[in-house]
Amino acid sequence: MKIFLLLLLFLCEAQSRATSRPNFVVLIADDLGIGDPGCYGNKTLRTPNLDGLAKGGVKLTQHLAASPLCTPSRASLMTGRYSIRSGKWHLGIHCHNKTDFCHHPLNHGFDYFHGLPVTNLRDCKPGHGSVFTSGIRLLVFIPLQVIAIALLTLAVLKWLGLCHVPPAVFFCLVFLAALILASLLCFLHYFRPLNCFLFRNYDITQQPMSYDNLTQRLTEDASQFIRRNAETPFLLVMSYLQVHTALFASKDFAGKSQHGIYGDAVEEMDWSVGQIVNVLEELNLANDTLIYFTSDQGAHVEEVNSRGEMHGGSNGIYKGGKANNWEGGIRVPGLLRWPGVLQAGLEIDEPTTNMDIFPTVVKLAGSPLPEDRIIDGRDLMPLLLGKHQRSEHEFLFHYCNFYLNAVRWHPPNSTSIWKAFFFTPNFSPEGANGCFHTHVCLCYGHFVTHHHPPLLFDLSKDPRERNPVSPTTEPRFQEILETMQRAVDRHTQTVQRVPNQLSLWNLLWKPWLQMCCSSFFHLSCQCDQEKQDGRVSH
């Protein structure tokens, strides 16, 4: 009887606390695989603080990224919608002029921003290679080779007297080669300062960005944000650069893990999570704060540097990785902690998605959901509190860019999780677990294989997606596919066309929108206010 009363008191307390307005801390890793944290089975990477979140809260074991790529996945997390609905496919700052800041977080509901407004790339860190190697070969080296062969051929023909070649032809070819080389040198020299910089609110604080103690600086600023807002409910979104390449770790973590620079970066990020939790506990805010940790998609398995070192993580038992919709690309860590409200040590194996965080936060904050748009996410609290035993997602749709790639079905009154692929990426080389020839898997043309009928798996029995079912192994094969197709038809009818943010005009570099902390005409774009100020926050 005493146990029952204690349990009843706990449930009443949890219900009462769940109806109050908590603080929210949303922690998003970049390219972290589900097989990387210790709480998801890794035995060699040290992640005690992530493991602590799992031990003190809820671990989701079928938590899914809404997209297997960074930006659309994050757009879905922030909006609660499939990114195909919003068209947010890229990062950026301005739309029309250098003062509109149309993509800036401060123009989308946030009160403070400190971080990298564009993409962390290998090119941002000297000595870590380039993501443009293939493009440089196609646009620079091959044209230079053609020009060299043309010059040599024309010179030989002229020397043999077989044809008359005006000097202007040689001059034009040499000039063209010089122009291509000059363009390459300018690109290599200016790309880093023009694209790798830190913002604080609307101001550039470091250009080019320095990786020295970067995690420590951002973590300290996040801690100061919590301290400044300790007396009022707040939302902190800590979006880590780790473990996207370029990989980095401070001196305190470099060379300390068993997995090279990738492991060092994971363990430093875990340290940062611990620092934020410590601040919450120091300020007696832990019991009033819902913490959510996830990754934007699975680990980038094709990430190998020029020396052959693996710079990508582990997706555990799951097939594939970043940029494809095999489970390794979309099944991600999902940890939630709210002491006194969420049961410690609980594991939930129902399908959930990062789109669910938006409606969960909005409802707990006491605000209504927008009524002028479709919200694809679902409030997680009934599932987390045990009021519901099943996910509200009967169907989930997996996109590869703007192509509908696969659909997931969790039938009522069934333990099965059906997943049907309309096409799958062609891994290369053959037998590999990724698309190493193209660095990421692509979604069109000869890079994919279309399936008629769709390739069907029961993930409840085959989570590794090794053995597709067939009419001979599954009597309801046709019925299952028909049900899933009807769901697809209903879904696609709700998707409206949006402006193409990958149009040629949007992809072209626009110098008049370029951010520079000094006059762009000085061609320097170098400053370090963070270092000069000796501080990390206002």
pLDDT digits (tens, 9 = 90+) for 249-274: 999 999 999 999 999 999 999 999 99
Both tokens of residue 380? Answer: 């997680």
Q: Specify whether 90 is catalytic.
A: yes
Confirm whether pTM is higher than 0.85. Answer: yes
Q: Position of tokens 């879904």?
A: 491
Closest CA to 335 of 38, 31, 17: 38
Tell me the Ramachandran region of residue 530: left when phi exceeds 0, alpha when psi lies from -120 to 50, beta otherwise. alpha
Per-residue pLDDT for 304 more than 50? yes
Cβ atoms of 350 and 390 within 8 Å: the answer is yes
pLDDT score, position 499: 81
Q: Contact at 8 Å (CB) between 63 and 294?
A: yes
pLDDT recorded at residue 4: 36
For residue 125, pLDDT over 60 is answered with: yes
| Closest residue by Cα to residue 408 from 360, 449, 465 | 465
**Amino acid present at 44:** T
**Per-residue confidence band for 535, with pLDDT thresholds at 50, 70 and 90:** very low
Q: Are 247 and 265 a contacting pair, CB within 8 Å?
A: yes
* Cis status of the peptide bond prior to 429, with omega within 30 of 0: yes
Lowest mean pLDDT among 87-96, 122-131, 498-507: 87-96
Phi, psi of 459 (to 5 degrees): -65, -20
Find all residues with CB under 8 Å of 479, minimum gap 6, and list them.
none
Q: What was the pLDDT predicted at 165?
A: 86
Alpha carbon distances (Å) from 69 to 236, 399, 456: 23, 10, 23
Average pLDDT of the chain, as a whole number: 90
* pLDDT tops 80 at residue 17: no
Q: What is the pLDDT of residues 144-191, one digit of tens each?
A: 999 999 999 999 988 888 888 898 999 999 999 999 999 999 888 888
- Distance in angstroms (rounded) separating the CA atoms of residues 153 and 488: 59
Kindly tell me if the per-residue pLDDT of 11 is higher than 70.
Answer: no
Q: Which of 117-121, 250-254, 398-402 has the lowest mean pLDDT?
A: 117-121
CB 25 within 8 A of CB 238: yes
Q: Average the pLDDT over each of 12-26, 28-42, 469-483 and give the range with the smallest value.
A: 12-26
Report the chain's C-alpha Rg in angstroms: 26
491-517 pLDDT, tens digit per residue, is: 999 999 888 777 888 778 888 888 888
90, 104, 388, 439: which is the annotated catalytic residue?
90
Please give the pLDDT value at position 497. Answer: 84
**What's the pLDDT band for 310 if we cut at 50, 70, 90?**
confident
Alpha-carbon gap, residue 416 to 393, rounded angstroms: 13
- Point out the catalytic residue in the list 70, 516, 525, 527: 70
pLDDT-derived band at 525 (thresholds 50, 70, 90) equals confident
Place of tokens 């009522």: 412
